């Protein structure tokens, strides 16, 4: 067994602690000079395990220079870790300097950090991406020994992960014996993450260290009076019972799937909070100050409950939480586990969680999640190829630091796991894109951002043409492209947070909405401010556009299993069991592999409900495509609604044979057409155009508002689609649209098996299984892709009615 250095050993002894097995194994991996991935549940002392080798290295007389980079997905986490790290360092009496660096770090400190670096620098993927754009980065990183990536599961598979991975390739080129370390929550595919972490995607070079599993979580499903409602997806009906749970525990986290739901639940809880217990709210749209205030109240143990969204999914450690409530369905088992992990950071005590399903399908989903957690089944990790827009940003950063030789840079980029399959041709296109837009019509040779130069050996070196492009790059680099937002402010100027422009546009003066736990009345919209006053009137809900997490495939499979396997039903509440058995009598309970399609008349309309279980995103897309086919077939569709489990179309004519509506050629014939014409691709294009550096990002106080950015990228998209539809950024936008926006993979699976597995049942009335989705009619927003003309005509007629003279 590896022994701790005496100073560190004494510190452990002094606290009455012993190092854990996985902490020592991490130390051992470091001594052997191997990369390491630690997979352990929350509360296992992961962060200390990540730093221990660095502390051991720096005990005694540390040499100058940067030794360790710590990368966190959140600024707040970097700050938090700094605090938690400083305590042991002080107590051990180690002469180690630790500093944080991120977007909020003052400029002079950033300059000083580059000139006189600390031993340990805590930062984010974006800040690291900027650091490597400076010429002095070669010197700064020449002493670097270790990079530690915290919460790697939270962002490795996203664009921020691409950016970080490319940055690691750069660091490795500067410092070949750099050791890579990643810390992860429990994941389904540690090998996949090891491959992601390793230089050249060589998983064998990574030591995978597994933490001991914590005590099994105690999860219960909350059913007030043993009943589950037909509709809804929020669990709002259970507010009194959730309040009871809050009263019974020390500190409770109440997780909601969307920001708007969080606002709503907060209001509901407040109404039944008879003892006026201190409860707070936390989500990504609140102002930084509002969030900090709640976070510190939480840290001081002053709150009994905090209503939160995914903004709290990551590690900030608040010790005393002893109960986690999940409102609505959890959507995936990994996410549920991570949320539960926020409670009780002591491994030996079980975490406690309460699930509040919103409807009967969600009840099945909650059961599925419970079983999955019990069996340790996690959601699949979807590793994908790196994004082309991120690569463009990275290459420009490299060029800003120093000219690079083309062949060497290609090899460096390919050593980054997400880009190991990048072709030479694709790489050339990237360079041409950065150089002058990469257009077939070479119109901008006069305005090049990069200049290629041949050396004596015939190698091409690329350098930035003018210092102004370096400045431009640093101002615009970054991965997160926010939706255009308006600041919510009181008249005295105090900022409460932001709402998306789309939502603000639907408000008129006098309207009220929930925000930051208050009911606010709109005074007016002025420039980029939404001016409000506090109101005692009943409020509407803010509707943020934020992406919706679709049901994971493994939970979907389990829910399908429940439908068919009657032996499970005994454990269900009576009304759920009754719901399923009546479905069995009236219609069909599909076998796990079957695609059930029901048709029935209801209120002068003909309905078709498809139980495909492919998640909300895929169903939205399919709903659009199928209604378009119905239109061509003369079935006169009126609309459709979708949830995670099914989607329903309604039309004036009856669907007699659904099979032709679901043939796989829909993906070749109609899908491309639809995506190009809809706003999906424009939305995706906007993001890749900013990340890829085609257009400048919005800067506070600078001319562009988010509105103008949206606008001009839409026009650029239209022109590009017309003249160069295969442009690199169009490819990047398509890649995003396919994966993130439409879930086309799941769609394709469904359509490919539709012909063989479809079970069509024609009924004389609505079936029990159809009720949850049908109750959405009239409450859902219109789907992406409906023809704008129709909406404009509708708006005019409404305006006409409203404005009509009596």
Partner 1 sequence: MVPFSFSGHKFFALPQAALFWPARRALLVADLHFEKASWFARLGQMLPPYDSMATLADLEALVAATDARELWCLGDSFHDSDGIDRMPADACARLEALTEKLDWTWITGNHDAAFAGRCGGRVIDEAEVDGLVLRHEADTAETRPELSGHFHPKLRLTVRGKRVSRRCFVATERKLILPAFGALTGGLDAGHPEIVRAVGPDAEALVPVSDRMLRFPLAA
**What's the closest the beta carbon of residue 720 comes to partner 1, in angstroms?**
5
**What's the closest the beta carbon of residue 696 comes to partner 1, in angstroms?**
6
Which residue, 755 or 793, has its beta carbon nearer to partner 1?
Answer: 793
**What's the closest the beta carbon of residue 468 comes to partner 1, in angstroms?**
7
**What's the closest the beta carbon of residue 439 comes to partner 1, in angstroms?**
6
| Contact pattern for partner 1 over residues 423 through 442, marking x by CB under 8 A | ----------x--xxxx-x-
With contacts defined by CB under 8 A, name the span among 82-90, 162-170, 318-326, 688-696 that binds partner 1.
688-696
| 3-state SS track over 247-271 | HHCCCEEEECCCHHHHHHHHHHHHH
**What's the closest the beta carbon of residue 712 comes to partner 1, in angstroms?**
6
**What's the closest the beta carbon of residue 472 comes to partner 1, in angstroms?**
5
With contacts defined by CB under 8 A, name the span among 57-65, 602-610, 718-726, 739-747 that binds partner 1.
718-726
With contacts defined by CB under 8 A, name the span among 84-92, 275-283, 715-723, 765-773 that binds partner 1.
715-723
Among residues 444, 566, 752, 765, which is the contact residue for partner 1, using CB under 8 A?
444
Nearest residue to 118 (alpha-carbon basis) of 168, 60, 65, 191: 65
Nearest residue to 295 (alpha-carbon basis) of 482, 80, 488: 80
**What's the closest the beta carbon of residue 237 comes to partner 1, in angstroms?**
24
Residue 739 per-residue DSSP state:
I
Taking a C-beta distance cutoff of 8 angstroms, is the pair 631, 637 a contact?
yes
H or E stretch at 734 = helix 728-736
| 715 makes contact with partner 1 (CB under 8 A) | yes
Which residue, 459 or 506, has its beta carbon nearer to partner 1?
Answer: 506
Q: And the tokens for 449?
A: 């951002």
Nearest residue to 160 (alpha-carbon basis) of 203, 728, 151: 151
Q: Which of positions 489-518 make contact with partner 1 (CB under 8 A)? A: 502, 505-506
Q: And the tokens for 269?
A: 């809880």
| 469 makes contact with partner 1 (CB under 8 A) | yes
**What's the closest the beta carbon of residue 780 comes to partner 1, in angstroms?**
8
Q: Which of positions 721-760 make contact with partner 1 (CB under 8 A)? A: 722-724, 727
Number of residues that bind partner 1 (CB under 8 A): 46
In angstroms, rounded to a whole number, what is the distance separating the alpha carbons of residues 17 and 775?
56
**What's the closest the beta carbon of residue 794 comes to partner 1, in angstroms?**
6
Q: Which of positions 520-559 make contact with partner 1 (CB under 8 A)? A: 543
List, in sequence order, the alpha helices (H) in 124-218.
125-131, 137-140, 159-174, 190-197
Which residue, 17 or 447, has its beta carbon nearer to partner 1?
Answer: 447
Q: And the tokens for 719?
A: 């022109």
Q: Is 275 helix (H, G, I), strand (E, B) or coil?
A: coil
Residue 325 per-residue DSSP state:
E
Among residues 518, 695, 763, 777, which is the contact residue for partner 1, using CB under 8 A?
695
| 111 makes contact with partner 1 (CB under 8 A) | no
Q: Which of positions 255-274 make contact with partner 1 (CB under 8 A)? A: none
Among residues 426, 518, 716, 759, which is the contact residue for partner 1, using CB under 8 A?
716
Which residue, 423 or 506, has its beta carbon nearer to partner 1?
Answer: 506
Facing residues of 98 across strands? Answer: 120
In angstroms, rounded to a whole number, what is the distance separating the alpha carbons of residues 464 and 452?
9
The torsion of the CA quartet 256, 257, 259, 260, rounded to 10 degrees, works out to: -90
Taking a C-beta distance cutoff of 8 angstroms, is the pair 619, 642 a contact?
yes
In angstroms, rounded to a whole number, what is the distance separating the alpha carbons of residues 103 and 109?
12
Among residues 275, 789, 801, 804, which is the contact residue for partner 1, using CB under 8 A?
789
| 443 makes contact with partner 1 (CB under 8 A) | yes
**What's the closest the beta carbon of residue 470 comes to partner 1, in angstroms?**
10
Taking a C-beta distance cutoff of 8 angstroms, is the pair 760, 659 a contact?
yes
| 803 makes contact with partner 1 (CB under 8 A) | yes
With contacts defined by CB under 8 A, name the span among 117-125, 261-269, 345-353, 783-791 that binds partner 1.
783-791
All residues at 6 or more sequence positions from 154 whose CB lies less than 8 Å from its CB, including other chains: 73, 185, 313, 314
In angstroms, rounded to a whole number, what is the distance separating the alpha carbons of residues 263 and 510?
19
Q: Which of positions 17-76 make contact with partner 1 (CB under 8 A)? A: none
With contacts defined by CB under 8 A, name the span among 236-244, 262-270, 379-387, 689-697 that binds partner 1.
689-697
**What's the closest the beta carbon of residue 795 comes to partner 1, in angstroms?**
5
**What's the closest the beta carbon of residue 133 comes to partner 1, in angstroms?**
15
CA 508 to chain centre: 31
Among residues 449, 560, 606, 697, which is the contact residue for partner 1, using CB under 8 A?
449
| 703 makes contact with partner 1 (CB under 8 A) | no
**What's the closest the beta carbon of residue 779 comes to partner 1, in angstroms?**
11
Taking a C-beta distance cutoff of 8 angstroms, is the pair 149, 339 a contact?
no
Question: Cα 40–43–46 angle (5° rounding)?
Answer: 50
**What's the closest the beta carbon of residue 632 comes to partner 1, in angstroms?**
19
With contacts defined by CB under 8 A, name the span among 358-366, 415-423, 464-472, 589-597 that binds partner 1.
464-472
Residue 226 per-residue DSSP state:
G
Which residue, 300 or 722, has its beta carbon nearer to partner 1?
Answer: 722
Taking a C-beta distance cutoff of 8 angstroms, is the pair 731, 430 a contact?
no
Nearest residue to 219 (alpha-carbon basis) of 324, 119, 130: 324
Sign of the four-CA dihedral 168, 169, 174, 178: positive
Q: Is 658 helix (H, G, I), strand (E, B) or coil?
A: coil
| 784 makes contact with partner 1 (CB under 8 A) | yes
Question: Cα 441–445–446 angle (5° rounding)?
Answer: 135
* Helices 728-736 & 388-401 angle (0-180, nearest 10): 130
Which residue, 365 or 435, has its beta carbon nearer to partner 1?
Answer: 435
**What's the closest the beta carbon of residue 532 comes to partner 1, in angstroms?**
18
Which residue, 15 or 442, has its beta carbon nearer to partner 1?
Answer: 442
Among residues 205, 472, 581, 775, which is the contact residue for partner 1, using CB under 8 A?
472
In angstroms, rounded to a whole number, what is the distance separating the alpha carbons of residues 70 and 431?
30
Among residues 142, 423, 708, 752, which is the contact residue for partner 1, using CB under 8 A?
708
**What's the closest the beta carbon of residue 525 comes to partner 1, in angstroms?**
11
| 638 makes contact with partner 1 (CB under 8 A) | no
Question: Cα 387–392–393 angle (5° rounding)?
Answer: 100
Q: Is 517 helix (H, G, I), strand (E, B) or coil?
A: coil
Which residue, 197 or 470, has its beta carbon nearer to partner 1?
Answer: 470
Among residues 82, 711, 753, 776, which is the contact residue for partner 1, using CB under 8 A?
711
Which residue, 460 or 705, has its beta carbon nearer to partner 1?
Answer: 705
| 158 makes contact with partner 1 (CB under 8 A) | no
Instruction: List strands edge to edge, sheet with 68-71.
Output: 98-101, 120-123, 68-71, 146-149, 179-184, 35-39, 206-210
Taking a C-beta distance cutoff of 8 angstroms, is the pair 628, 673 a contact?
no
**What's the closest the beta carbon of residue 784 comes to partner 1, in angstroms?**
7
| 804 makes contact with partner 1 (CB under 8 A) | no
List, in sequence order, the alpha helices (H) in 93-152.
107-115, 125-131, 137-140
In angstroms, rounded to a whole number, what is the distance separating the alpha carbons of residues 129 and 691?
12
Among residues 204, 276, 454, 719, which is the contact residue for partner 1, using CB under 8 A?
719
| 781 makes contact with partner 1 (CB under 8 A) | yes
Binding site for partner 1 (CB under 8 A): 433, 436-439, 441, 443-444, 447, 449, 468-469, 472, 502, 505-506, 543, 694-696, 708, 711-712, 715-716, 718-720, 722-724, 727, 781-782, 784, 786, 788-789, 791-796, 799, 803
């Amino acid at each position: 067994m590896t022994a701790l250095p005496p100073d560190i050993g004494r510190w452990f002894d002094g606290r009455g602690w012993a190092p854990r097995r996985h902490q020592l194994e991490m130390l051992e991996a470091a001594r052997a000079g191997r990369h390491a991935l630690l997979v352990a549940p929350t509360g296992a002392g992961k962060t200390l395990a990540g730093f221990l080798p660095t502390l051991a290295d720096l005990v005694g007389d540390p040499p100058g220079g940067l030794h360790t980079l710590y990368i966190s997905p959140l600024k707040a986490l970097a700050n938090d870790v700094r605090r938690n790290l400083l305590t042991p360092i002080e107590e051990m009496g180690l002469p180690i300097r630790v500093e944080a660096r991120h977007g909020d770090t003052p400029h002079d400190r950033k300059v000083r950090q580059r000139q006189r670096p600390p031993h340990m620098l805590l930062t984010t993927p974006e800040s690291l991406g900027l650091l490597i754009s400076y010429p002095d980065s070669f010197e700064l990183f020449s002493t670097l020994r270790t990079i530690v990536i915290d919460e790697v599961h939270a962002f490795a598979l996203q664009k921020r992960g691409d950016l970080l991975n490319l940055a690691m390739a750069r660091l490795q080129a500067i410092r070949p014996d750099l050791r890579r370390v990643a810390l992860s929550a429990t994941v389904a595919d540690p090998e996949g993450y090891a491959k992601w972490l390793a230089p050249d995607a060589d998983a064998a070079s990574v030591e995978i260290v597994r933490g001991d599993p914590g005590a099994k979580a105690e999860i219960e499903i909350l059913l007030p009076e043993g009943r589950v409602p037909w509709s809804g997806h929020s669990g709002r009906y259970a507010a009194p019972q959730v309040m009871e749970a809050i009263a019974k525990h020390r500190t409770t986290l109440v997780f909601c799937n969307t920001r708007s739901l969080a606002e709503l639940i907060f209001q509901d809880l407040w109404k039944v909070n008879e003892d006026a217990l201190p409860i707070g709210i936390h989500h990504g749209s609140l102002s930084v100050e509002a969030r900090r205030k709640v976070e510190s109240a939480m840290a001081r143990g002053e709150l009994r409950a905090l209503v939160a969204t995914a903004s709290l999914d990551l590690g900030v450690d608040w010790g005393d939480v002893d109960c986690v409530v999940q409102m609505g369905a959890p959507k995936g088992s990994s996410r549920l586990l991570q949320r539960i992990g926020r409670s009780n950071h002591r491994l030996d005590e079980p975490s406690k969680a309460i699930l509040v399903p919103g409807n009967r399908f969600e009840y099945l989903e909650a059961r599925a999640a419970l079983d999955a957690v019990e069996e340790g089944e996690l959601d699949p990790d979807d590793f994908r190829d790196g994004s082309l827009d991120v690569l463009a940003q990275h290459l420009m950063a490299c060029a800003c630091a120093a000219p690079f030789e083309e062949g060497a840079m290609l090899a460096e980029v390919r050593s980054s796991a997400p880009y190991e399959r990048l072709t030479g041709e694709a790489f050339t296109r990237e360079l041409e894109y950065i150089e002058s837009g990469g257009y077939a019509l070479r119109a901008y040779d006069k305005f090049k951002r990069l200049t290629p130069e041949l050396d004596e050996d015939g190698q091409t070196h690329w350098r930035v043409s003018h210092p102004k492009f370096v400045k431009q790059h640093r101002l615009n680099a970054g991965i997160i492209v926010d939706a255009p937002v308006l600041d919510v402010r009181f008249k005295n100027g105090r900022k409460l947070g932001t709402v998306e422009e789309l939502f603000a546009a639907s408000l008129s003066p006098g309207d009220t909405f929930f925000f930051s736990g208050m009911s606010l009345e709109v005074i007016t919209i002025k420039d980029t401010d939404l001016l409000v006053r506090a109101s005692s009137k009943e409020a509407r809900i803010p509707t943020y556009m934020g992406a919706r997490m679709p049901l994971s495939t493994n939970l979907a499979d389990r829910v399908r299993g429940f439908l068919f396997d009657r032996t499970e039903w005994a454990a269900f509440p009576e009304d759920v069991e009754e719901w399923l058995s009546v479905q069995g009598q009236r219609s069909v309970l599909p076998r796990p592999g079957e695609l059930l399609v029901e048709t029935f008349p209801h209120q002068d309309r003909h309905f078709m409900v498809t139980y495909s279980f492919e998640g909300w995103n895929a169903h939205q897309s399919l709903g659009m495509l199928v209604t378009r086919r119905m239109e061509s077939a003369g079935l006169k569709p009126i609309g459709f609604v979708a949830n995670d489990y099914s989607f329903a179309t309604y039309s004036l004519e009856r669907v007699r044979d659904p099979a032709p509506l679901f043939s796989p050629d829909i993906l070749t014939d109609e899908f491309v057409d639809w995506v190009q014409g809809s706003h999906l691709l424009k939305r995706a294009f906007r993001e890749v155009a900013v990340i890829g550096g085609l257009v400048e990002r919005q800067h506070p106080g600078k001319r562009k508002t988010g509105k103008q950015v949206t606008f001009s990228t839409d026009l650029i998209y239209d022109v590009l689609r017309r003249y160069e539809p295969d442009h690199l950024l169009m490819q990047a936008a398509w890649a995003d649209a396919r994966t993130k926006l439409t879930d086309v993979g799941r769609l394709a699976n469904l359509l490919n098996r539709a012909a063989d597995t479809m079970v069509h049942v024609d009924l004389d009335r609505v079936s029990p299984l159809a009720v949850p989705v049908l109750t959405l009619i009239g409450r859902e927003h219109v789907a992406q892709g409906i023809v704008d003309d129709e909406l404009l005509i509708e708006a005019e007629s409404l305006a006409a009615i409203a404005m009509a003279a009596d």
